[in-house]
Chains A and B, each alone.
Chain A
């Protein structure tokens, strides 16, 4: 096959895909589809939790007071710091520097979240508080457990990106991690602080 014969399909491969309205979003449109879906699902769950609390305020407040707000606050600081480091890694790559130190630090700090969460779950379970205790703790385990699974997935994604650190991979992995961060800053006050 001639060089000219190869030019056309190769050029076609290099053309950016038309994502329609999703092209107006920063970074990978497929990741944004996931983010938009997660935001809708979590939004509905958060409103559902608030309505359930208004239907049984006494049980919900008594249960909330058994949570450790400081532990939740520490985990908020952990996720915020990890998200900031992930953002710094993307910026480093854009500037031609190595993104790996900041990304490795982001993963290390992010891991602390799961350690704190495991201690929190162990403390609750050893006190006999399970998903069947009442509606508040059903929501608590469901929402924080769903979020913790996303943290675990995010750490796996960031670890893969650490190995294959193209700008597109970094932006996509960091976007997922920031979504996890975004959901937590809503979840934390709603479950741990609001009376």
Chain B
């Protein structure tokens, strides 16, 4: 399996996992659901950035900046949703 196809399979699996999580959404605390779906989203965004947008081929400075931006955005979204 090539990297591109493996990345696609990971993205599909995580999306299906997020959809499954929704069906349990009423029986578990909101912060757990929010954390799970946001972390899944963050990992999917990282995979797209790294393998589809080929940031793994970028210079180390750009890699740090782009991955750091992703961590900052998802960190903020997670902090805001969990603090409620």
Contacts and interface: CB of A to CB of B under 8 A. Distances in A.
- Asked if A pairs with B, the answer is yes
A88 B33 CA distance: 33
Nearest to B5: A84
Contacts of B54: 26-27
A87 B22 contact: no
A28 to B, nearest CB: 12
A112 to B, nearest CB: 15
Contact of B57 (A26, A88, A182): A26
Of the four ranges (under 10, 10 to 19, 20 to 34, 35 or more), the interface on chain A belongs to 35 or more
Main secondary structure on A side of the interface with B: helix
A176 B74 CA distance: 22
Interface in A56-108: 57, 69-70, 73, 76-77, 80-81, 83-84, 86-88, 91
Contacts of A81: 8, 12
Contacts of A73: 15-16, 18-19
Given A25-B58, A50-B81, A186-B41, 18 more contacts: A26-B58, A46-B73, A50-B80, A70-B19, A76-B15, A77-B12, A80-B15, A84-B4, A84-B52, A88-B4, A175-B53, A181-B52, A189-B18, A189-B38, A193-B33, A194-B34, A194-B37, A194-B81
Interface of A: 21, 24-27, 35, 39, 43, 46-47, 50-51, 53-54, 57, 69-70, 73, 76-77, 80-81, 83-84, 86-88, 91, 174-175, 178-179, 181-182, 185-186, 188-190, 193-195
Interface of B: 2, 4-5, 7-8, 11-12, 15-16, 18-19, 21-22, 25, 30, 33-34, 37-38, 40-41, 44-45, 48-49, 51-55, 57-59, 61-62, 69, 73-74, 76-77, 80-81, 83-84
